[in-house]
Structure 1
Amino acid sequence: MAAIEGLSNKMSVADFYVGKTIFITGGTGFMGKVLLEKLLRSCPGVSNIYLLIRPQKKQNAQERLQQLLHSPLFDILRKEHPTDLQKVSAIEGDITQPELAITTSDRKILLQSVNIVFHSAATVKFDEKLKVSVAINMLGTQRLVEMCRRMTKLEALVHVSTAYCNCDRSKVEEKIYSSPMGPDQVISVVNSLEENLIDSLTPTLVGNRPNTYTFTKALAEYWLKENKGDLPLVIVRPSIVISTVNGPLKGWVDNWNGPTGIIAAAGKGVFRTMLCEANKRADLIPVDMVINLMIVSAWKIGTQKSKEISVYNCCTGLRRPITWHHFINLCFTYMRKHPFSEIKWYPDGTITSSAIRNNIYRLLLQWLPAYILDAVGWLKGTGSKMVRVQVKLQKAAGCLEFFTMQEWEFEDSNVHTLSLILNEHDQQEFCFDVARIKWEDYLENYVLGIRRFLFKEEEESLPEARKQVSKFYWIYRIIQIAGVMGMWHFLALRYAPLRQLWSNALRLLVHIARMLSILK
């Protein structure tokens, strides 16, 4: 305990970043944007921030940077500290290319000035082809590390991995596990074979892991362990990353990845069944807590040098667990309280651990309505897209099933210890203590965030949306009651005991209706 008290007297996190130059890969992604905003807002002494940005067909790196800085996430900075945005510069490059495709002049700037590197560039597509996943998640990491070795002022390198890179284990400690097949072997296989042959070998290579993402992330970690040398390296492993829990915008989210796309579709009424073990833990983590941990982990390695690789499992399962059942029920509650506009049906659904039952529900509750709506749209000439939507949703749900049908114990003592050594101000400003999460408040803001930031719906549209969801509610209940009554009637015609019970029930309903009319 004395050691912890001693560490807590070190310079504050913000003071550590004074005068620092930072290089970020993956800066245009979901986590990268939150990282950039947090550094500018909470570490105002930062000198320069360079973002590695890949040019696109219609936009160069500088144009993509300007688009990024006009995100609602940066509204407060633009209003209160607009000059701080001038600290951000785009470095044109590509993580999949030699030397990251950075020009000689830009590379010289980075090698001579960068103090801290945050490496969050990755392909997070679960169904990505192995060749692409290796090129980005493994070779991209290797190329970055080679550049970091030549940085003369480097104090910290933060590598973003995933808690699920070791999902072939039920208990995952904060350490790097060895791999049955070495990273160099996998790279050699991928580079020497035709793509169609690689695709056919992928299930064998991936083994017990569900996808190429977790597989290549695990191999990247193992390669880092074997090749880090003297680099000041830390690894942060978040679980399932969703919207912000705190500022500057509660509930901010800018992509449909993971559960977000499924929840959004359920709120629109077009997704109604999910293969899931209801009582398993849903290890969800707010993106800003992951970012705070990344920033603090760089402070830790920068102020207390260590030759060991610190690994941080950034998860909620042990200290603030929530089940899939509770998560989904809360989301439905808030999607009815704050409904999306132009919904297709009343937001409701079911989760089941039976694949057969899930397929039946999917056929009756999703595919059949989709074909009916598309047929009506075709007849009206308004277009048909609901079947295409269902194809995408089925693919997205399939990618999640491995994670919704199982649970893991992610040990997080390193994260907990790191939180304890912060002073009181830094514990508030850079909070990653998941025990503070209030799931009800957080998930209400999550739903509001999907509504505002993904569907671009303003608060003024809520009254009309509530009228629509109320109308669908009554239609939905009437259909349910009619269905139950129809089933009873069908059974009553076949079985004499049920026929008498059915007749008695109808007489009772008629009697109640008459009494109500007399009272009026």
Structure 2
Amino acid sequence: MAAIQNGVCSSHTGVAEFYNGKTVFITGGTGFMGKVLLEKLLRACPGVAKIYLLIRPKKGQDAHERLKLLLCSPLFDPIRKSRPSDLHKVLPIEGDITQPELAISSNDRLTLARTVNIVFHSAATIKFDEKLKLSVTINMLGTQRLVELCKRMTNLEALVHVSTAYCNCDRSEVKETIYPPPMGPDQVTSLVDCLDESLLDSLTSRLVGNRPNTYTFTKALAECWLKENKGDLPLVIVRPSIVLCSFGGPLKGWVDNWNGPTGIIAAAGKGLFRTMLCDPEKIADLVPVDMVINLMLVAAWRIGTTKTKDMPIYNCSTGQRRPITWKHFVGLCFKYMRKHPFSDVTWYPDGTVTASRTLNIINKYLLHWLPAYIMDGLVWMAGGKPIMVRIQDKLCKAATCLEYFTMNEWHFDDENVRILSQQLNEKDREEFCFDVAKIDWEQYVEDYVLGIRRFIFKEESSSIPHARRQVSRLYWLYRCLQVASVMCMWHFLTLRYAPLRQLWGNALRLLIHLARMLPFV
């Protein structure tokens, strides 16, 4: 039995050993973080008995078919090669987070209640512009329904709820504690239940208040509700900041979605996106997905071995221990998108970030919309299907959703995370690393770009030399166009203003004179 001294676990049970013989239930297992969690459990905790995934039937596929497709991901290739039988530990539970009782059958609910030891709740809608009704249904009511199920689990040792560091983004300094929202969870639920959706949409901005979207608002409500209603559940909350690709194995740079900065970076690498509203000197609080997952696994171990009645909260962020500015991050992205360019780029990858809204609007019209309309016009005249304006519209909406986070900065206190890391032995600290101080941003961003290339665009490394030649040709075309543009503008100005015309003539004569003075070699 583990001893507890001042709330600190002194158990000699390692993290992997803690999961021996345990049954795990995961919501959101088909999402980006859920896949990484599942893979890490199978790879680093080989003693885990069973892993149940809550899976919603989708697009004509039932839960079993979706699970089979999920396990075909390249992320699971190492396990498929070394321990293929372990994949049979993963079992689907058909259900839906938006429905009463999670739409889980009575037999499956009984199975979960009798067997589950550890629950990871990562199911959520992460769309920033989601309508309030659906966001409340998934992020808050879904959490409530899961808690009701967990309270029936007779052998539950840990419940890990995944929130977000930005659920309290209306504060510049965020500690690892629950802050009360301006409206109580039950009040919001009542409004959502009784108001017509169109009326609710019109009131959303007033309800959300200083927060930028329904996502951060409903995540804050869910945390508040959990604090008030968790009862004796062994609950822990993990709050990641902006989650990007994996830092370590088995696949460095693994990413499988366009969410957050990834879609913008991918578009910039293709030459389709060149300007964004962003304060270049603000800290970009980015965190690798596998470090978040490691923290979740260790957090479950900690609460499961200490048996504390407290509700620990962990801010999983990089801003305090390994900060990087948006300027540095964007610069590194362009650096490695030119070193490892994507195939079939439309234009030379280049761009800028600016904190000036006026300059950004001018840049958008000149660098995004004007080329898009010109290209679509040429395609239309050639009998093709114009798509560039539609692409720019989607990119513009994605960038707008991110502007709040690229124009502001937060201080996320992470003292609990540091203490938790100190409680691990050396082996676990290495295997379940969530020490963000170890991030080498140069190497990480290079892996990120290569990951986008490999896992998003499905491009082999063998295509890089050809892509480099293409980008090199575009570079010289890009520079020639810039020089031509400057010369045309200067020529226009010199024709209209005599002093500039005289200055231009003097400059040319000086250059000719200096050239004549140079000795011939």
TM-score if structure 1 supplies the norm length? 0.97
Q: Is the 8 A contact 2:11 2:305 kept in 1?
A: no
Counterpart in the other structure of 2:306: 304
| Structure 2 residue ranges without an equivalent (≥5) | none
- Asked if structure 1 preserves the Cα contact closer than 8 Å seen for 2:158 and 2:304, the reply is yes
**CA separation in 2, counterparts of 1:434 and 1:109?**
38
- Provide the residue aligned with 2:348 in structure 1: 346
1:418 aligns with 2:420: yes
How big is the shift at 1:7? Answer: 3.9
Amino acid in structure 2 at the alignment position of 1:405: M
Q: Pick from 363, 370, 380: which aligns with 2:365?
A: 363
Separation in structure 2 between the aligned mates of residue 242 and residue 119 of structure 1, nearest angstrom? 19
Instruction: Say whether the 8 Å CA contact 2:317–2:412 is kept in structure 1.
Output: yes
- Secondary structure class of the residue paired with 1:241: strand
Letter of the 1:433 partner, please give it: D
Shift of 1:492: 2.5
Q: 1:102 aligns with which of 86, 96, 104?
A: 104
* 1-structure distance, mates of 2:286, 2:385: 37
d(CA) in 1 for partners of 2:7, 2:414: 20
Structure 1 residue aligned with 2:156, among 154, 157, 168? 154
Match of 1:219 in 2: 221
Equivalent-residue separation in structure 1 for 2:513 and 2:294 (angstroms): 65
> Which whole-Å deviations, capped at 9, do the CAs of 1:193-237 have from their partners, x for residues lacking one?
111001001001000000000000000000000000000000000
CA distance in 1, matches of 2:234, 2:185: 21
RMSD: 1.8
- For residues 25 and 9 of structure 1, the distance between their equivalents in structure 2, rounded to whole angstroms, comes to 28
How far apart are the structure 2 equivalents of 1:382 and 1:474?
28
Greater shift, 9-18 or 119-128, is seen at: 9-18
Given the alignment, which residue of 271, 278, 285 partners 1:276?
278
SS of aligned partner of 1:67: helix
Distance 2:26 2:452 in 1: 26
Paired amino acid for 1:407: E
How far off is 1:378 after superposition? 1.3
1:436-480 deviations in Å (ceiling 9; x for gaps):
000000000000000110011111111111111111100111111
Q: Distance in 2 between matches of 1:342 and 1:506?
A: 41
Supply the distance in 2 between the matched residues of 1:511 and 1:449 (Cα, whole angstroms): 53
Does residue 466 in structure 1 map to residue 461 in structure 2?
Answer: no
**Partner residue, 1:324:** 326
Report the counterpart of residue 210 of structure 1 in structure 2.
212
Aligned 8 A contact 2:8 2:306 in 1: no
Relative to structure 1, the CA distance from residue 235 to residue 280 in structure 2 (aligned partners, 3 Å threshold; closer, same or farther) is: same
Retained in 1: the 8 A contact 2:7–2:308? Answer: no
Task: Look up the SS of the partner of 1:288 in the other structure.
Answer: helix
SS in 1 for 2:112: helix
**Cα gap change, 1:3 to 1:433, in 2 (>3 Å):** farther
CA pair 338-71 structure 1, distance change in 2 beyond 3 A: same
Q: SS at 1:91's partner residue?
A: strand
Q: Distance in 2 between matches of 1:346 and 1:115?
A: 52
CA contact (8 A) 1:53 1:92 kept: yes
The 1:5/1:306 distance shift into structure 2, 3 A limit, reads: closer
| Paired residue secondary structure (2:24) | strand
Q: For the residues of structure 2 that align with 1:456 and 1:516, how far apart are their CA atoms?
A: 54
Q: Hey, what's the Cα distance between the residues in 1 that align with 2:8 and 2:404? A: 43
How far, CA to CA, are the matches of 2:49 and 2:480 in structure 1? 63
Q: CA 1:472–1:508 in 2, change beyond 3 Å: closer, same or farther?
A: farther
Among candidates 488, 491, 497, match of residue 490 of structure 2? 488
Q: Secondary structure at the match of 2:287?
A: strand
What do the CA deviations read for 1:264-303 (whole angstroms, capped 9, x no partner)? 1111111111001110000000000000000000000000
- Describe the shift of the 1:517–1:198 C-alpha distance in structure 2 as closer, same or farther (beyond 3 A): farther
8 Å Cα contact 1:172-1:410 kept in structure 2:
yes
Q: State the partner residue of 1:35.
A: 37
Instruction: Report the counterpart of residue 47 of structure 1 in structure 2.
Output: 49
Q: What is residue 388 of structure 1 aligned with on the other side? A: 390
Say which SS state the counterpart of residue 126 (structure 1) adopts: coil
Aligned to 2:81: 79
Aligned residues of 2:9 and 2:305 also touching (Cα < 8 A): no
**2:242/2:285 contact within 8 Å kept:** yes
Q: How does 1:255-266 map to 2 (within 5 A)?
A: 255-266=257-268
Deviates more, 1:103-112 or 1:504-513: 504-513
Match of 2:176 in 1: 174
Give the deviation of 1:105 after TM superposition.
1.2
Amino acid at match of 1:435: A
Report if the CA contact (8 A) 1:8-1:422 is conserved. no
Give the deviation of 1:390 after TM superposition: 0.6
Cα deviations by residue, 1:145-184 (Å, 9 ceiling, x for unpaired) = 0000000000000000000000000000000111221101
8 Å Cα contact 2:7/2:306 also seen in 1:
no
Share of identical aligned residues, percent? 71
Distance 1:185 1:21, change over 3 A: same
User: Conserved in 2, the CA contact under 8 Å of 1:267 and 1:343?
Assistant: yes
Taking the aligned partners of 2:451 and 2:97, their CA distance within structure 1 comes to: 31
Q: Deviations over 1:290-319 (max 9, x none)?
A: 000000000000000111110000000000
Return the offset for 1:506: 3.4
CA positional deviation for 1:418: 0.3
Give the structure 2 partner of residue 139 of structure 1: 141
What does 1:109-124 align with in structure 2 at a 5 Å threshold? Answer: 109-124=111-126
- Residue 481 of structure 2 aligns to a residue whose secondary structure is helix
**Stretches of structure 1 lacking an aligned partner (at least 5 in a row):** none
Aligned to 2:451: 449
Amino acid corresponding to residue 66 of structure 2 in structure 1: R
Measured in 1, the distance between the counterparts of 2:106 and 2:77 equals 34
Query: In structure 1, what residue type is equivalent to 2:323?
Result: P
- On the 8 A contact 2:164/2:239 being kept in 1, the answer is yes
Determine whether 1:440 maps to 2:442.
Answer: yes
Q: Matched residues in 2 for 1:94 and 1:516: separation? A: 79
Q: Is the 8 A contact 2:9 2:302 kept in 1?
A: no
Alignment of 1:11-26 (within 5 A): 11-26=13-28
Q: What residue in structure 2 maps to residue 56 of structure 1?
A: 58
Aligned to 1:243: 245
Structure 1 position 508, deviation (Å)? 5.7
TM score, norm. by length of structure 2: 0.97
**In structure 2, distance between residues paired with 1:73 and 1:297:** 23
